[in-house]
Structure 1
Amino acid sequence: MEQLINDFSPGLFAMQTIIMLVLIFLMVKFAWKPIMNSIEDREKGIKDALDAAENARKEMQNLQADNDKLLKEARAEREAMLKEAREIKEKMISDAKEQAQVEGDKMIKQAQAAIESEKKAAMADIKSQVATLSVDIAEKVIKEELANKDKQLKLVENMLGDIKLN
């Protein structure tokens, strides 16, 4: 350190100070503004990139929310369609059952009417046969009764007796 103080020259110091001041002046005059402009441009570019990234993040959130909303709507619509299809199926089944019931009732009524008609026809036929048989039996009985004269007289007397009693 002592050597430094011994070698100190005030003229050299003044000259170096003047060169340093000129160099600083030239730097401020010609280099400082472009350096500061490029730093400011870089700062602005970084800020714009951060803003763009933030906007993209917000847009992604909006798109995600829209996608979720659309997905929920699609699910709700699907559920509504499935419910409607189930209702249509159940209605078709109930309509088919009802129609089958109506057709069954109609067929039963037709069968009952046919049975009743057959029953009436059979009853009429039986009555006719019974009447025919009764007439045949009566004819045979009367022939037998009327074949003998004594029996004829007795029958007439019995009939006359019955008429008087009534």
Structure 2
Amino acid sequence: MTTNAYQLAKTLHRLSRQLRRRQYNKNTAPHHDHSHLLLLIAETPGIIQRDLAIKLDIRPSSMTETLVKLENSGLIIREHDKKDQRVMHIFLTEAGKNSTKESHEQNLALNNSLFDCLSTEEIQQMLTIGQKLSDHLASVQGICNKAHCQHKHRHNCGHHRCQMTESANNNNMGQ
């Protein structure tokens, strides 16, 4: 690895740690560590537990454990599907909605203060580079990371658009 690449990886790691530390300081909302999960539930009321695990790229058993904690805290309710008792739908409670709103407001304030030192062009460049790195890392790991794909899965999952992308990529490599 070149010295510049090593320095970049080190800087990105440090930035990631700083962001986590700042985001999760003592002044944040309760259940801040689950704010992304609560936001996903808020965006899709009744979302299926399995789909949440896929979107967050975590094991179903870990998702169950997290949801039980949130349910015990009164932030969500889980309901079995009327047609298939194996399927569990997730909904926010009023307390969950309030927590999500508070967390969202804090995230906006954090993001505004964090990125106010960058120009609009620099923010766009970082977005482009960040997405490029994320896509590359996902492809190296064999995980679908395309915007059209609502679930992060292995490329050989059978998802039609992923197969089309894979096929196009393979054809371009041969040229």
The two structures share one fold, judged by TM-score above 0.5: no
More helix by share: 1
Larger radius of gyration between Structure 1 and Structure 2: 1
Larger RCO (CA under 8 A, 6+ residues apart): 2
More strand by share: 2
For normalisation by structure 2, the TM-score amounts to 0.16
For normalisation by structure 1, the TM-score amounts to 0.17
